[in-house]
């Protein structure tokens, strides 16, 4: 497996990989998540992520060159305030592993790559969000040493 930072030439591949995860989220919460998405807008979103100084996308390919997945992360530097200490947090915004490459260590490799990058940037921790319906992902994150630390609630009105 090859893992590297995505470039603008990888954008069509990232957009294509995103389809699976976007569809799952739209099926669970059709009032929140768009499907299908505007592909040019999606490509522009990922291009902005690549261009940001504090953002990155790692992409992985199989030994035969097939796209296997990607992960997007952003470093947030939060200044000290009266309530909290200064924080440097690597936030994982998205991770997608193609169904053909699940359960063989691809997700773990992507997460480890982000952790390595976060350490290089002297981040205090890595955070991510995951929707309640995605219990398989929760188990995966917990296996990697992540723990739940807050809950979010909503009320439709």
Write the burial class of residue 71 (CB in 10 Å: 0-12 exposed, 13-18 middle, 19+ buried): buried
50 pLDDT band, cuts 50/70/90, is: very high
Domain ranges for the chain, please list them: 2-143
Integer distance in angstroms from the first to the last C-alpha of the chain? 47
The dotted CATH code for 2-143 is: 3.40.630.30
Instruction: Give the pair of three-digit tokens for residue 111.
Output: 């997460």
Contact 1, 61 (CB under 8 A): yes
Select from 2, 10, 14, 4 the least CA-distant residue to 116: 4
Instruction: Give the pair of three-digit tokens for residue 69.
Output: 């997945």
Contacts of 139 (CB under 8 A, 6+ apart): none
What separation in angstroms does the CA of 107 have from each of 3, 12, 84, 95? 11, 20, 32, 8
Question: Quick one: pLDDT at residue 72?
Answer: 97
Question: Quick one: pLDDT at residue 155?
Answer: 95
Q: Is the pTM of this model over 0.85?
A: yes
Give pLDDT tens digits for 3-26: 999 999 999 999 999 998 999 999
Question: Quick one: pLDDT at residue 53?
Answer: 86
């Amino acid at each position: 497996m090859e893992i590297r930072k995505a470039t603008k030439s990888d954008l069509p591949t990232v957009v294509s990989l995103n389809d699976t995860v976007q569809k799952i989220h739209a099926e669970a919460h059709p009032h929140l998540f768009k499907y299908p998405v505007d592909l040019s807008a999606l490509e522009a979103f990922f291009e902005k992520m690549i261009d940001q100084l504090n953002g990155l996308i790692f992409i992985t390919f199989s030994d035969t060159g097939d796209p296997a997945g990607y992960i997007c992360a952003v470093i947030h530097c939060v200044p000290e305030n009266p309530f909290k200490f200064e924080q440097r947090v690597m936030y994982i915004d998205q991770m997608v592993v193609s169904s053909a490459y699940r359960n063989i260590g691809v997700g773990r490799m992507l997460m480890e790559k982000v952790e390595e990058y976060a350490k290089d940037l002297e981040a205090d921790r890595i955070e991510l969000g995951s929707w309640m319906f995605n219990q398989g992902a929760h188990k995966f994150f917990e296996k990697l040493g992540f723990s739940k630390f807050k809950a979010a609630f909503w009320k439709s009105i």
